[in-house]
Amino acid sequence: MTDITSRTEAALAAIAAATSLDALEAERLETLGKKGWVSLALKTLGGMTPEERTQAAPAIQSARAAIADALDAKKAALEAAALEEQLARETVDLTLPAAAAPRGSVHPVSQVMDELAEIFADLGFAVATGPEIEDDWHNFTALNMDETHPARAMHDTFYFPDKTLASSSEAVGQQKTPEGREVLLRTHTSPVQIRAMLDQGAPIRIIAPGRVYRSDSDATHTPMFHQVEGLVIDKGIHLGHLKWTLETFFKAFFEREDITLRLRPSYFPFTEPSVEVDVGYSNEGGRRVVGGHGDAPGHAWMELGGSGMVNARVLEFAGLDPKEWQGFAFGLGIDRIAMLKYGMNDLRAFFDGDPRWLAHYGFSPFDQPTLSAGVGARA
């Protein structure tokens, strides 16, 4: 018993004096290892008489527990000290991107939205937003679209729920707002203009970028796509202001002066007169490149959106007197102008989620569009 006590005290002292994990491990093997003296002492209990075992066992078990606790405490202390030393020796700049990990990139649609906001902000426009789940009054009626307008048809508009599946009166009732209006996914961002005019009145100068939804899908159309609507309401506004605004925007957006716009007479219920906006482009190296005159050899026109003077009835729906206020509005497809600017041929690739496509066409998060550095500069 005296030998166990003295050896235990010596072992505890050696553990306390250990200065490394290797030294501590050597001490563990010396005491609690398979050939350690504590383990060998435990094996001798089987050859003792019951009386001897009753006297020796508590002392051996007590020595084993004391040494094990000391080893655990010393190991934790040494590991903590090693970690502190490593942290003091090594420094990591968390503001730098990880060199070994793949870097994320900004989707071209998000980048173009930032470019739009930067350019139009310089022209005095504010950015307005609105709900993507709309009612038919804001989406259609307030924009001078009557009940029989083709755009209200199910082949163009996603209603909640799908009317073709609504077989009971209860299901039909779920499609209505408390005011009795149909609920749908907005087909354009023009409802934002209505909400902005109702909330702010006039004069007003806004753009409304965002997602819109229509039942359409091919190389240049998808069921969900992105639009930017522009609205200017003031006194003395005419179609010349619209043309100048669009030309100024496209020259800044495409960063070239040889932009040629073509305004074709058209019809939209919410504008009068109405014009389609086309831009001239050519095919260079298998991709579309904006610039030049669309009627020139090797050049063509691409439709980018519609525009016109705000219809007097729309102003009345928005609570404005059309005899006092005039304005223009335009709508551009963000995905289309992104395709034209950055040489993309298939709109569907925007939403495939292919990381290879995004790595090629994506933008660095540090590449913030500015008019001074160039809205299209890529890192």
Q: What percent of the chain has pLDDT above 90?
A: 33
Asked if residue 155 and residue 84 are part of one domain, the reply reads no
Asked if residue 312 and residue 224 are part of one domain, the reply reads yes
Give the model confidence (pLDDT) of 203-258 as tens digits. 999 999 999 998 765 555 678 889 999 999 999 999 999 999 999 999 899 888 88
Residue 308: is its pLDDT beyond 50?
yes
Asked if residue 129 and residue 85 are part of one domain, the reply reads no
Bigger pLDDT: 288 vs 305 = 305
Amino acid at position 297, single letter: P
DSSP 125: P
Q: What is the pLDDT of residue 126?
A: 94
Q: What is the pLDDT of residue 228?
A: 94
Residue 169: is its pLDDT beyond 50?
no
At 101, is the pLDDT very low, low, confident or very high (cuts 50, 70, 90)?
Answer: low
Asked if residue 80 and residue 22 are part of one domain, the reply reads yes
Residue 371 forms part of a structural domain? no
| pTM for the full predicted model | 0.65
Asked if residue 85 and residue 120 are part of one domain, the reply reads no
Q: Which residues contact 298 (CB under 8 A, 6 or more apart)?
A: 282, 283
Asked if residue 135 and residue 53 are part of one domain, the reply reads no
Residue 94 forms part of a structural domain? no
At 340, is the pLDDT very low, low, confident or very high (cuts 50, 70, 90)?
Answer: confident
Residue 170 forms part of a structural domain? yes
Give the model confidence (pLDDT) of 170-198 as tens digits. 444 446 777 778 888 998 999 999 999 99
Asked if residue 79 and residue 11 are part of one domain, the reply reads yes
Query: Which whole number is the average pLDDT over 147-172?
Result: 62
Q: What is the pLDDT of residue 41?
A: 85
Query: Using H for helix, E for strand and C for coil, what is the string for 309-346?
Result: EECHHHHHHCCCCCCCCEEEEEEEEHHHHHHHHHCCCC
Both tokens assigned to 89 = 């020796």
Q: What is the pLDDT of residue 154?
A: 59
- Is residue 148 within 8 A of residue 96, CB to CB? The reply is no
Residue 376 forms part of a structural domain? no
Asked if residue 57 and residue 142 are part of one domain, the reply reads no
Could you say which of 62, 89, 116 is where a domain stops? 89
Residue 313: is its pLDDT beyond 80?
yes
- Is residue 357 within 8 A of residue 232, CB to CB? The reply is no
Amino acid at position 11, single letter: A
Residue 103 forms part of a structural domain? no
Q: What is the pLDDT of residue 171?
A: 43
Asked if residue 123 and residue 219 are part of one domain, the reply reads yes
* Full domain range(s) for residue 12: 2-89
Residue 369 forms part of a structural domain? no
Could you say which of 32, 61, 89 is where a domain stops? 89
Asked if residue 26 and residue 73 are part of one domain, the reply reads yes
Asked if residue 218 and residue 78 are part of one domain, the reply reads no
Query: Which whole number is the average pLDDT over 84-112?
Result: 78
State how many domains the chain has: 2
CA atoms within 13 A on the CB side of 346: 8
At 347, is the pLDDT very low, low, confident or very high (cuts 50, 70, 90)?
Answer: confident
Residue 374 forms part of a structural domain? no
User: Tell me, what CATH number does 160's domain have?
Assistant: 3.30.930.10
Asked if residue 123 and residue 82 are part of one domain, the reply reads no
Residue 27 forms part of a structural domain? yes
The whole-chain average pLDDT of the chain stands at 84
